[in-house]
């Protein structure tokens, strides 16, 4: 089925380790986003991309890097994981920047940093 | 600054009754969109309903309707005839002219439907 696929779904990291979360979409969407969800906080934007080769910072970018070398993929990297990065990470994509075309969300990645 | 406020951390409703989940927003943009998402315990984000700032009619989607009061900057979600499967977290979200598509989310309301 068409949509947004996130890998992995679960991961446990030790403090200081690095990892990359992959988001892949097959809908030819221009816009892609990474959010984190913490209890009682809703979803907060980490980084986003408005097209292949472009990225920009969101509300909570510190400790994360991103890349969008291909239109269909948006990678989120943690260079040196910290316990504060324990969270559920959601990737989303959209065709347009506004309007009711809506957003497609991945199923999330639950990351625990110990 | 753009902001979404959901003041009800938790709500209870009896099965088959209607319930209103509150959402107020703050933006200086004239063009914006308001969204409601449902997040069941399984974790996925499910789109429910959308209202554009220039839409004159309140949006409806099946049992969901959005009570849009532009002057009060409120976009409350009304769920009619609640079902047990409606028990979930509900998030109000907004994008706006300058957001480059980014959605701003409220903190959510946890709805529990009692049998």
Q: How does pLDDT run across A81-109, given as a tens digit for each residue? A: 999 999 999 999 998 766 566 789 999 99
Mean pLDDT of A2-6: 90
In this prediction, residue B2 carries a pLDDT of 87
Considering only residues A95 and B30, tell me which one the structure prediction assigns the higher pLDDT: B30
By C-alpha distance, which of B104, B106, B27, B35 is closest to A42?
B106
> What pLDDT sits at residue A1?
62
Mean pLDDT of A9-29: 96
Within an 8 Å CB–CB cutoff, is residue B30 touching chain A? Answer: no
pLDDT band at A55 (very low <50, low <70, confident <90, very high): very high
Per DSSP, the residues of A51-76 read ETTEEEE-SS-TTEEEE-SSTTEEEE
Q: Does residue B48 register a pLDDT over 90?
A: yes
Going by C-alpha positions, the residue among B78, B89, B68, B81 that lies closest to residue B24 is B68
The mean pLDDT value for B3-19 works out to 96
Q: Chain A: residue nearest B89 by CA?
A: A42
DSSP-assigned beta bridge partners for residue B93: B35, B105
Residues 6+ apart with CB under 8 A from B1: B26
Q: What is the pLDDT of residue A39?
A: 87
What local confidence, expressed as pLDDT, does residue A101 receive? 62
Chain B: nearest CA to A110, how far in angstroms?
A: 10
Residues 6+ apart with CB under 8 A from B15: B82, B83, B84, B113, B114, B115
Instruction: Copy the structure tokens of residue A62.
Output: 């510190």
Instruction: Name every residue in A having a CB less than 8 A away from some CB of B.
Output: 31, 33, 35, 40-45, 48, 50, 56, 58, 88, 90, 92, 94, 96-100, 102-103, 105, 107-108
Query: Residue B77: is its pLDDT beyond 90?
Result: yes
Q: Are B68 and B34 in contact (CB under 8 A)?
A: yes
DSSP alpha helices (H): ranges in chain B? none
Q: How many CB atoms lie within 10 A of CB A16?
A: 10
pLDDT score recorded for residue A105: 94
The per-residue pLDDT for A22 is 97
**Beta-carbon neighbour count of residue B42 at 10 Å?**
9
Provide the pLDDT for residue A100: 63
- The pLDDT value recorded for residue A73 is 97
- How many angstroms separate the CA of residue A58 from the nearest CA in chain B? 8
**Which two tokens mark B15?**
């099965």
Kindly indicate the confidence band of residue A66, based on its pLDDT and cuts at 50, 70 and 90: very high
Give whole-number Cα distances, B25 to A112, B6, B49, B81, B92, in Å: 32, 9, 16, 26, 9
How far is CA A62 from each of CA A36, A79, A81, B3, B107, rounded to the nearest angstrom?
12, 11, 11, 21, 21
Model pLDDT, residue A98:
60
Q: What is the mean pLDDT of residues B9-35?
A: 95
| Cα pseudo-dihedral A50, A55, A58, A63, rounded to 10 | 150
Mutate which of A44, A59, A100 to disrupt the B interface (most B C-beta within 10 Å)?
A100
Contact, A72 vs A3, CB < 8 A?
no
Q: Give me the percent of chain B exceeding a pLDDT of 70.
A: 99
Nearest by CB: B106 against A42, A90, A96:
A42
What's the rounded mean pLDDT across residues B7-27? 96
């Amino acid at each position: 089925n068409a949509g947004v696929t996130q890998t992995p779904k679960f991961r446990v990291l030790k403090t200081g380790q690095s990892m990359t979360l992959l988001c892949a979409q097959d809908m030819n969407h221009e816009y892609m986003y990474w959010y984190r969800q913490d209890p009682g906080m809703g979803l907060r934007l980490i980084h986003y991309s408005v097209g292949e080769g472009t990225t920009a910072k969101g509300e909570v970018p510190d400790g994360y890097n991103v890349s969008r070398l291909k239109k269909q993929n948006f990678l989120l990297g943690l260079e040196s994981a910290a316990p504060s990065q324990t969270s559920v990470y959601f990737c989303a994509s959209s065709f347009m920047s506004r309007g009711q075309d809506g957003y497609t969300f991945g199923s999330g990645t639950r990351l625990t940093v110990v | 600054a753009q902001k979404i406020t959901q003041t009800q951390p938790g709500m209870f409703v009896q099965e088959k009754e209607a319930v209103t989940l509150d959402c107020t927003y703050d933006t200086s943009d004239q063009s914006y969109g308001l969204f409601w998402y449902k997040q069941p315990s399984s974790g996925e984000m499910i789109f429910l309903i959308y209202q554009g700032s220039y839409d004159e009619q309140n949006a409806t989607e099946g049992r969901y309707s959005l009570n849009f009061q532009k002057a009060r900057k409120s976009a409350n979600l009304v769920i009619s005839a609640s079902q047990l499967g409606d028990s979930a977290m509900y998030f109000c979200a907004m994008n706006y002219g300058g957001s480059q598509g980014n959605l701003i989310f409220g903190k959510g309301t946890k709805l529990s439907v009692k049998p």
